[in-house]
Amino acid sequence: MGTILVIGEIQNGKLREATFELVAFARQVAPGLGAEVKSLVIGHGAQALADDLAKKGGGEVLLADHELLANYGVDAYNRAVRAAVEKTKPDVVLFSNTPSGWDLAPRVAAALDAGFVSDAFKIEAEGGKPVFTRRVFNGKLDARLSVSALPVVATVQPGATSPHAGSEPGSVTRLDVAISTGDLKAKFVKIQTAEAKGVDLTKADIIVSGGRSLGGTEKFMEIIKPLADALGGAMGASRPVVDSGWLPHEYQVGSSGQTVTPKLYVAVGISGAIQHLVGMKNSNYIVAINKDPDAPIFEVANLGVVGDLFEIAPALTKAVKDAKGL
């Protein structure tokens, strides 16, 4: 019988919800692949977390526990995963597509000369092998990928499925990983949490965000700010706007910026790259204005206007002002 190896991830002293999502995916496809689910927990002083994962569907849980594994570091974690792979000979290795998952998983695939799929949001079993679905072209197309040979290493999009909820019998075995400080070519120094931001979009009831189509700071201030002001809301932006230096980072909505859930989110000239969508898709009501009818933003929006933002947004600003008697 084959093995699906789930790589668990600890964050702030707890197993991430994404780990239990991996367990859910693994258990879903295990019968079709004729495989059993096993897991790996990497950390320091993590016995209780490994016990917890074993009770909640992780199956036979391997625990790599070492002081040099207390924080993520590519060399040490690579060794831990490779030791677990050596021991379990998995057909499928699943990581979460998180900053440590996407950092390490491709290295493991290269070391095993194995196939690699990143950021899958769907995994199915077909003819005894896994088939993955993921986005390409920054969310404009989906791709279905099959595997010509096993093993395969994959990262899975956090939030793509619900975390496994049931309790199952499991066990925990300690996995010896030989690491010394001299082995580490990449050294963890520290984590800096985001300092208090000047702009807190998470508390805004209304957010008007602009994207790359605006073309520059001036147009942003001419089109987006007046609409946000008229609505009594806050101004936000997509990543390309911040990358281009049109607005500072604290205005960025998305996975590497702020995650927002306002009552009304107006996306102006934002195509809807995945990294933006994860930061705003849970808004109560979403209006999107974009010239491309196939833009992914329309998939998460409630109301869409296909057209020229330079005409529609100012007209909307005027209409809002008129309605408010401003």
Pick the closer one to another protein by CB: 88 or 98: 98
Which CB, 6 or 231, lies closer to another protein?
231
The token duo for 136 is 């390409």
- C-beta neighbour count of 12 within 10 angstroms: 5
Output 173 or 284, the one with its CB closest to another protein. Answer: 284
Instruction: Give me the least distance between CB of 172 and another protein, in Å please.
Output: 28
Closest CA to 123 of 35, 39, 34, 22: 22
For residue 60, the minimal CB distance to another protein (Å) is: 27
CA–CA distance from 155 to each of 25, 93, 225 (Å)? 11, 8, 38
Query: 171 or 255, CB closer to another protein?
Result: 255
Q: Which amino acid is at 213?
A: S
**Least distance from another protein to the Cβ atom of residue 258, Å:** 8
Euclidean distance between CA atoms 84 and 105, whole angstroms: 13
Between 67 and 205, whose beta carbon lies closer to another protein?
A: 205
DSSP string, 226-273: HHHHHHT-EEEE-HHHHHTTSS-GGGBBSTTSB----SEEEEES----
At closest approach, how far in Å is the CB of 165 from another protein? 24
Other Cβ atoms within 10 Å of 115 Cβ, number: 19
Contact at 8 Å (CB) between 166 and 57? yes
CA–CA gap between residue 225 and residue 317 (Å, rounded): 10
Which CB, 55 or 140, lies closer to another protein? 140
CB of 12 to another protein, least distance (A): 11
Taking the complex as a whole, the smallest distance from the CB of residue 36 to another protein amounts, in Å, to: 23
